[in-house]
């Protein structure tokens, strides 16, 4: 059985979170370039080169390994992820993909070339239809740094880009201005259009750009907007809307109302908002309002912002937060992020304590003891992204906090600090801690419930594993990619959920040790299992979560199907071939509704038997990509009432080995 490369789209295109507008997937092969234009040949070569790069959507350990292999200095990799974690970005939490799109830092802009979703085309100074066709099917961000003037002809050529993709973006960082006729031509491009360094924007050009019905517009470089320009942009037709990353003043109510129709309103440099504009920003339905540079806000302004329907609310100026305004913010129903690097008062903290969602303080380097004590009753999670060091005193102040505690920037932990945190009731997440000793692990293991997540640990000594195994809640070690049998033996004594999401290799000896674990076992990074490893895991007494598994032997599939406890196999239905009956039987056993989205061929000596098994799916059965099939296999599939296939007239019927053509099979539609 082989597995097609399934590339899930991590961007929610329904949320206009700037970079959440674009870049989903990998580069598609370009057509062979005409030999007469070396620029086209160079473009096509760069497109092909993107296919060899890692994805920006891979997990952090995989990205770190890829960057290190590419020669990126270790200290640069560390700084990159530290800056991502600290960045004020659209969406629920910072992510590398959005960070790389929005960054202006030359170091990080240069790092884009390491990823499959970013295609930089220096040397291209002019565009025509043939040159655009060379990258037209690239499903990512195309940057044209040497295009300085956009003519109506070159803008019209860009309309070819993005026609066959969903999520592509074109970025023109050297275009400082654009004439109305060129803007009108550019507006026909269906991709996200980014003009990050505009020096001017006329009302006529704004009106032309507003006719854009593609994914979205990013218009950077504009600190202010004249009323007529703002009014024109308020009529923007783009599907996901408009991003103005450099706007410092928003005083247009019509433009605010247009922005409110987007899933996310991201205004990173706006320093003040009036109450009327805040009212115009209302009527959102669950996205995010991100105003990280807001200098201060009154109770009246807080009342408008909290009632606006946004789930994620990010506000600056929190060091000036009054108890009255804090009391109003406490009624916010979703995530609340306060971006100040200075703490608010203990009196304001006491009012915020009744907030029951996530309270994030991403830039605060230290939470004063009196503020921490005032937040003790807060039952939501508390994220302190700016805290890099925990002392015994600061840990003691944080320990009584009722909700979950996230400390992503803390890199070292002493046994004494761990002892202070251990009595906590809620979750503790320490994703930046790179290593711990036995004494620290022993102290942390005394934490009595919920979850202990140590996302920075990439290696684990057997004795440390054995100490952590005493923890009774969910133990998450998401950066561990390999285990020795000795370390696996230590972890197997753990009795809660053991999450090893990034484990990519599972030798038989390691599988045998992990199978002794009595709780749930989350191994969703495993894509392939040998027969002995599958047979060993099948004996595990708890639920077995193999959400990434796509390759398993027939004997391994039989062992997994026969286990009596819970099994999760999300990715298995993305295979592009099924060559054995046991794999088909495993699929039918695990999925009520089976959607084999990548299966293109059903052939071979067992094709008919496999099809007969698939036809026993309890719910619906879909094979939308099917292209080739044997007649008897097709006949077997058609016995199922709730089956979805491509038009049978377009299917290629292929001879089954050892079986002649069967004239008595009647295929509907043929």
The overall average pLDDT reported for the chain is 89
What's 264's DSSP letter? E
Report the C-alpha gap between 532 and 525 in whole angstroms: 18
Confidence bin at 348 (pLDDT 50/70/90): very high
614 in Cβ contact with 638 (< 8 Å): no
486 in Cβ contact with 463 (< 8 Å): no
Residue 471 tokens, joined: 């923890």
Report the C-alpha gap between 670 and 649 in whole angstroms: 5
170 in Cβ contact with 21 (< 8 Å): no
Residue 532 tokens, joined: 């002995």
**Length, in residues, of the chain:** 670
Is the pLDDT assigned to residue 481 strictly greater than 70? Answer: yes
Dihedral sign, Cα of residue 608, residue 613, residue 618, residue 621: negative
Q: Which residue has the higher pLDDT, 3 or 123?
A: 123
**Tokens 């133990």 correspond to what residue?**
475
At residue 30, the pLDDT reads: 45
Q: Which of 639, 633, 625, 624 is nearest to 603 (CA)?
A: 633
Residue 567 tokens, joined: 């099994």
**H or E stretch at 67:** helix 60-69
Instruction: Find the Cα–Cα–Cα–Cα dihedral 148, 149, 154, 159, rounded to 10°.
Output: 70
Q: Which residue has the higher pLDDT, 22 or 547?
A: 547
Q: In what order do the strands lie in the sheet with 594-595?
A: 594-595, 621-622, 643-644
Pick from 23-27, 288-292, 431-435 the range whose average pLDDT is largest.
288-292
Neighbours of 621 (CB within 10 A): 24
Report the C-alpha gap between 422 and 392 in whole angstroms: 12
Backbone angles phi, psi at 458, to 5 degrees: -100, -10
Report the C-alpha gap between 67 and 392 in whole angstroms: 36
Report the C-alpha gap between 239 and 92 in whole angstroms: 21
At residue 425, the pLDDT reads: 63
601 in Cβ contact with 627 (< 8 Å): yes
Residue 193 tokens, joined: 């259009």
574 in Cβ contact with 597 (< 8 Å): yes
Is the pLDDT assigned to residue 11 strictly greater than 60? Answer: no
How many angstroms separate the most distant Cα atoms in the chain?
Answer: 85
Dihedral class, residue 283 (left if φ above 0, else alpha if ψ from -120 to 50, else beta): left
At residue 659, the pLDDT reads: 64
pLDDT exceeding 70 applies to what percent of the chain? 92
Confidence bin at 669 (pLDDT 50/70/90): low
At residue 665, the pLDDT reads: 55
Dihedral class, residue 585 (left if φ above 0, else alpha if ψ from -120 to 50, else beta): alpha
Report the C-alpha gap between 107 and 237 in whole angstroms: 34
**Tokens 């100040």 correspond to what residue?**
340
Residue 488 tokens, joined: 């696996």
Which pLDDT tens digit goes with each residue over 483-522? 999 999 999 999 899 999 989 889 999 999 999 999 999 9
Report the C-alpha gap between 532 and 552 in whole angstroms: 11
At residue 618, the pLDDT reads: 95
Q: Which of 91, 178, 192 is nearest to 141 (CA)?
A: 192
Report the C-alpha gap between 184 and 155 in whole angstroms: 8
């Amino acid at each position: 059985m082989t597995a097609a490369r399934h590339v899930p789209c991590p961007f929610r295109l329904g949320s206009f979170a700037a970079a959440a507008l674009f870049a989903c997937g990998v580069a598609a092969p370009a057509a062979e370039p005409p030999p007469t234009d070396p620029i086209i040949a160079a473009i096509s070569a760069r497109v092909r080169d993107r296919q060899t790069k890692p994805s920006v959507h891979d997990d952090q350990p995989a990205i770190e390994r890829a960057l290190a292999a590419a020669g990126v200095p270790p200290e640069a990799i560390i700084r990159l992820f530290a800056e991502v974690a600290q960045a004020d970005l659209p969406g629920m939490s910072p992510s590398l993909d959005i960070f790389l799109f929005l960054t202006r830092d030359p170091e990080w802009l240069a790092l884009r070339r390491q990823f499959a979703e970013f295609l930089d085309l220096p040397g291209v100074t002019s565009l025509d239809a043939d040159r655009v066709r060379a990258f037209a099917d690239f499903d990512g961000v195309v940057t044209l740094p040497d295009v300085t003037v956009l003519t109506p002809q070159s803008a019209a050529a860009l309309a070819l880009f993005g026609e066959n993709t969903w999520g592509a973006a074109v970025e023109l960082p050297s275009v400082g201005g654009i004439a109305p006729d060129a803007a009108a031509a550019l507006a026909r491009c269906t991709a996200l259009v980014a003009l990050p360094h505009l020096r001017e924007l006329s009302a006529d050009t704004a009106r032309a750009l507003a006719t854009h019905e593609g994914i979205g517009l990013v218009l950077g470089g504009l600190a202010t907007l004249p009323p007529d320009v703002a009014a024109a942009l308020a009529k923007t037709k783009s599907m996901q809307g408009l991003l103005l990353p450099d706007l410092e003043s928003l005083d247009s109510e019509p433009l605010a109302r247009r922005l409110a129709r987007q899933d996310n309103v991201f205004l990173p440099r706006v320093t003040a908002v009036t109450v009327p504009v805040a009212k115009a920003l209302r009527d959102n339905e669950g996205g995010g309002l991100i105003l990280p540079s807001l200098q201060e806000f009154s109770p009246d302004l807080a009342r408008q912002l909290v009632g606006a329907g946004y789930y994620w609310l990010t506000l600056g100026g929190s060091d000036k937060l009054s108890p009255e305004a804090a009391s109003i913010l406490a009624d916010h129903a979703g995530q609340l992020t306060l971006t100040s690097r200075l703490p608010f008062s203990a009196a304001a903290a006491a009012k915020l304590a009744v907030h029951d969602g996530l309270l994030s303080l991403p830039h605060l380097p230290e939470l004063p003891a009196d503020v921490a004590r005032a937040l003790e009753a807060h039952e939501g999670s508390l994220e302190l992204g700016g805290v890099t060091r925990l002392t015994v005193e600061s840990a003691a102040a944080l320990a009584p906090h009722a909700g979950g505690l996230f400390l992503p920037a803390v890199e070292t932990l002493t046994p004494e600090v761990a002892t202070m945190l251990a009595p906590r009731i809620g979750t503790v997440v320490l994703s930046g801690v790179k290593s711990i000793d036995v004494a620290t692990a022993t102290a942390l293991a005394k934490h009595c419930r919920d979850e202990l997540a140590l996302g920075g640990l990439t290696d684990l000594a057997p004795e440390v594993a054995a100490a952590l195994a005493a923890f009774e809640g969910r133990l998450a070690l998401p950066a561990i990619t390999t285990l020795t049998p000795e370390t696996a033996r230590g972890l197997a004594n753990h009795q809660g959920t053991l999450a090893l999401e990034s484990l990519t290799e599972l030798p038989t000896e390691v599988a045998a040790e992990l199978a002794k674990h009595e709780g749930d076992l989350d191994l969703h990074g495993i894509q392939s299992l040998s027969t002995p490893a599958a047979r060993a895991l099948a004996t595990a007494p708890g639920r077995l979560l193999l959400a990434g598994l796509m390759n398993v032997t027939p004997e391994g599939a039989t062992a997994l199907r026969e286990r009596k406890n819970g099994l999760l196999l999300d990715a298995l239905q993305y295979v592009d071939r099924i060559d054995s009956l046991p794999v088909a039987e495993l699929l039918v056993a695990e999925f009520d509704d089976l959607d084999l989205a990548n299966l293109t061929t059903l052939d071979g000596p067992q094709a008919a038997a496999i099809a007969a098994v698939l036809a026993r799916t309890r719910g619906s059965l879909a094979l939308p990509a099917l292209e080739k099939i044997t007649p008897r296999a097709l006949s077997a599939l058609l016995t199922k009432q709730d089956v979805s296939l491509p038009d049978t007239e377009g299917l290629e019927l292929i001879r089954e080995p050892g079986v002649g053509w069967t004239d008595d099979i009647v295929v509907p539609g043929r």
